[in-house]
């Protein structure tokens, strides 16, 4: 039996290789500090767990969910956007419920693009964007995210052919892996480009709840005209420590939302209703847990920056997300540097080239262990005399 050509076209899962390397080191009895992961280390807030427990006892939740999700969660998503971003969302036509936003990011090219049409992707960027490319058999070209441009794509560098051919563009701020945030001016420029070139925009707002130094990350939909050209995807995985629950939603342009809903009508019967009820509780109830989480990550960020500065490792403090994007030591590639840290210091980081060719020269560090372990990781690296 043979795999289909479509399956063969999918990229190798970058994180699977990293997990295997870390697992091997741990199996040898080594005390590995794993900074390469993107898995929240805190538990889901108790009131959300309680909402799931209560909902799970209701026999209605044991039946098939409505294909496009329960009204309670769609209304909660609309209320959340009005409260947090002053953006009006129609829960009936401008919300799509998803099994986490990864599924939406992967399925959207299938829903909106024909074979060989062009998708524009950020580089570096979330590796699983490429899964949608392979499954839909579309072309992709990348937009470099460079430090000198605050890790924002420079639209003036797009060719006329790219602007003419592109059907879809993905953006992601706060950014994985760089930790950069977007500005209102950048999103305004994005809307202008999208309207002039007829490009649909997908803003991956996975880390929308995590901004530092008192600055709340901006939603793409806050910008005038954004709903005319695009959607935003919001996952509960990061903001509410619900990664394993697999729940998120897209909001915005009704035609793009309908495309997601139609393809999901054929792939799924929506997710467990009790999880949807708990997700609605997360969005509707007190956001104190989010404030506490952001404070926790900011403390970890500050501890990391201070420790790196002490050993001469000059890094830029991330403005959002729970990642830091660190330059490698002189004389090493990203992969060589990551392998060295694991082999000699028992510190795991994600090599930047795994996020795209413009990730070369960096490693990604997750703020997903406590401050003591973060500082210990830098102390171990200090002993290698790299900086």
Whether 13 has a pLDDT exceeding 90, the answer reads no
Rg (CA), the chain: 21
Quick one: pLDDT at residue 338? 96
Domain match, 255 and 225 both: yes
Regarding whether 306 and 272 lie in a shared domain, the answer is no
> Is residue 387, in this structure, part of any structural domain at all?
no
pLDDT at 352: 96
CATH number for the domain harbouring residue 10: 3.90.1150.10
pLDDT band at 15; cut points 50, 70, 90:
confident
Determine contact, residues 349/363, Cβ cutoff 8 Å. yes
**Residue-wise pLDDT tens digits, 69-101:** 999 999 999 999 999 999 999 999 999 999 999
Nearest to 31 by CA among 360, 342, 358, 362: 342
Q: Are 324 and 179 in contact (CB under 8 A)?
A: yes
Answer with the one of 239, 256, 284 that is the final residue of a domain. Answer: 284
- Residue 200 contacts residue 169 (beta carbons within 8 Å): yes
* Residues 118, 65 within the same domain: yes
Residue 47: per-residue pLDDT: 98
Residue 276 lies in a domain: yes
pLDDT higher than 80, residue 14: no
Q: Are residues 62 and 40 in the same domain?
A: no
DSSP 243-296: GGG--EEEEE-HHHHHHHHHHHHHH---S-HHHHHHHHHHHHS--HHHHHHHHH
pLDDT exceeds 90 at position 49:
yes
Residue 11 confidence class, pLDDT cut points 50, 70, 90 = confident
**In this predicted structure, what is the pLDDT of residue 348?**
96
Position 134 scores a pLDDT of 93
Nearest-angstrom CA–CA distance, 235 and 204:
9
What rounded mean pLDDT belongs to the chain? 96
Is position 313 within any domain?
yes
Mean of pLDDT values over 185-197: 98
Residue 211's φ and ψ, nearest 5 degrees, are: -130, 150
Least confident of 14-18, 161-165, 173-177: 14-18
* CA pair distance 307, 287, nearest whole angstrom: 31
In the chain, what percentage of residues exceed pLDDT 90?
A: 95
pLDDT digits (tens, 9 = 90+) for 303-320: 999 999 999 999 999 999
Last residue of a domain, one of 284, 310, 331: 284
Co-location of 40 and 172 in the same domain: no
145 and 264 in a single domain? The answer is yes
The answer to whether 279 and 340 have CB atoms below 8 angstroms apart is no
* 14-28, 30-44, 276-290, 362-376, range with the lowest pLDDT: 14-28
Residue whose C-alpha is closest to residue 207's, from 168, 252, 240, 244: 240
Task: Report how far residue 4's alpha carbon sits from residue 383's, in angstroms, rounded to the nearest whole number.
Answer: 49
Residues 61 and 150 occupy one common structural domain: yes
Pairing of strands 166-171, 200-204: parallel
Summarised one tens digit per residue, pLDDT across range 23-41 is 999 999 999 999 998 899 9
Is 248 found in the same domain as 121? Answer: yes
209 and 326 housed in the same domain: no
CA angle 110, 119, 5 (to 5 degrees): 50
**Contact indicator for 334, 359 with CB cutoff of 8 Å:** yes
Closest CA to 73 of 102, 96, 53: 96
- Report the pLDDT averaged over residues 194-205: 98
Please give the Cα distance from 328 to 333 (Å, whole number): 7
31 and 160 in one domain?
no
Classify residue 216 by its DSSP letter: P
129-136 and 101-112 helices, crossing angle to 10°:
30
CATH no. for residue 190? 3.40.640.10
End-to-end Cα distance, the chain: 52
Token couple for 230: 């695009």
CA 303 to chain centre: 23
pLDDT at 102: 95
pTM, entire model: 0.96
Residue 298's SS3 state is helix
Q: Which of 234, 252, 284 is the last residue of a domain?
A: 284
Our count of domains for the chain comes to 2
Look at phi and psi of residue 113 and say left if phi exceeds 0, alpha if psi is from -120 to 50, else beta: beta
The yes-or-no verdict on residue 12 having pLDDT over 90 is no
Q: What is the pLDDT of residues 325-362, one digit of tens each?
A: 999 999 999 999 999 999 999 999 999 999 999 999 99
Full domain range(s) for residue 378: 5-44+288-382
Mention every residue, 6+ apart, whose C-beta is less than 8 A from residue 261: 67, 68, 96
For residue 121, the number of C-alpha atoms closer than 13 Å in the C-beta half-sphere is: 25
Q: Are residues 16 and 137 in the same domain?
A: no
81 and 10 in a single domain? The answer is no
């Amino acid at each position: 039996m043979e795999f289909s050509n479509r399956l063969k076209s999918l990229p190798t899962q970058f994180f699977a290789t990293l997990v295997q390397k870390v697992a091997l080191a741990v199996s040898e009895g080594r005390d590995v500090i794993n900074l390469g992961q993107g898995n929240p280390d805190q538990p889901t807030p108790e009131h959300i767990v309680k909402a799931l427990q209560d909902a799970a006892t209701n026999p209605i939740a044991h039946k098939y969910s409505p294909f496009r999700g329960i009204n309670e969660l769609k209304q909660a998503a609309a209320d959340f956007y009005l409260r947090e971003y002053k953006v009006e969302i129609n829960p009936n036509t401008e919300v799509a419920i998803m099994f986490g936003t990864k599924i939406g990011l992967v399925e959207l090219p299938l829903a909106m693009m024909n074979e060989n049409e062009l998708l524009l992707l950020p580089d570096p960027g979330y590796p699983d964007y490429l899964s949608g490319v392979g499954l839909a058999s579309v072309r992709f070209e990348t937009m470099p995210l460079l430090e000198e441009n605050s890790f924002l794509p420079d639209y003036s560098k797009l060719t006329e052919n790219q602007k003419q051919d592109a059907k879809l563009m993905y953006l992601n701020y706060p950014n994985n892996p760089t930790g950069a945030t977007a500005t209102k001016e950048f999103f305004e420029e994005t809307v202008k480009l999208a309207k002039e070139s007829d490009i649909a925009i997908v803003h991956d707002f996975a880390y929308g709840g995590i901004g530092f130094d008192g600055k709340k990350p901006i939603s793409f939909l806050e910008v005038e005209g954004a709903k005319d050209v695009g959607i935003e995807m919001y996952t509960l995985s990061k903001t509410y420590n619900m990664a394993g629950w697999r729940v998120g939603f897209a909001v915005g342009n009704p035609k793009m939302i309908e495309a997601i809903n139609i393809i999901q009508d054929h792939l799924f019967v929506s997710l467990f209703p009790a999880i949807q009820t708990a997700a609605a509780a997360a969005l509707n109830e007190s956001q104190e847990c989010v404030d506490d989480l952001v404070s926790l990550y900011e403390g970890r960020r500050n501890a990391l920056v201070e420790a790196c500065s002490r050993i001469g490792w000059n890094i830029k403090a991330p403005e959002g997300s729970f990642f830091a994007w660190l330059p490698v030591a002189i004389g090493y590639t990203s992969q060589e540097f990551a392998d060295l840290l694991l082999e000699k210091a028992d510190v795991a980081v994600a090599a930047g080239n795994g996020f795209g060719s413009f990730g070369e020269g960096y490693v990604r560090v997750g703020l997903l262990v406590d401050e003591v372990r973060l500082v210990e990781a830098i102390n171990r690296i200090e002993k290698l005399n790299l900086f």
